[in-house]
Amino acid sequence: MESNTNITRVKVKIINNTHRNEVVICTNVRCEKLSGLKAGDKIQPGKTIECVSSSNDRIFFEFRGEDSGDAFMMGCTCPKSSHNSACGYGNSGLQCYSRTGTPVSFEFHLGSPDLADWNNGCEYKAEHPAYAKCS
């Protein structure tokens, strides 16, 4: 039986809550694609974007403040053989998420502290892989 590669595995919601009330720009998406997000996309202050992926591999993406240059780096995955994981690097504002189940939803509140990390769905211990380490 052929598997369906178009099944959504990852849902990502990114909210621009930056304290400088500035536009943020996506500077890159690495390892795998996120449908609905590409380099150059902007999020206005207080606005939200949502994107999805059918990949079970790692996905990394980064935003920069248009005026400040502040970096907001994030990563996530919904693997077939282990736990869901996500992380923010700095004030990317990762919210609590489920370590099991498909699809998984990850939410980031840019400019806020991370509440979870790569190995902890609702506790922050600063555990994360090297940024853009695809495997």
So what's the pLDDT on residue 129?
A: 94
In this prediction the pTM is 0.93
Domain boundaries, the chain: 10-110
Name the CATH code of domain 10-110 (choices 3.40.710.10, 3.30.465.10, 2.60.270.50, 3.40.470.10).
Answer: 2.60.270.50
**DSSP secondary structure string for all residues of the chain:** ----TTS--EEEEEEE--TT---EEEEEEESS-BBTB-TT-EE-TT-EEEEEE---S-EEEEEEETTT--EEEEEEE--SSS--EEEEESS--BPP--SS-SSEEEEEEETS--S-BTTBTT------PPTT---
So what's the pLDDT on residue 6?
A: 78
pLDDT along the chain (135 residues), means of 10: 69 94 96 96 98 96 96 96 94 98 98 97 96 89
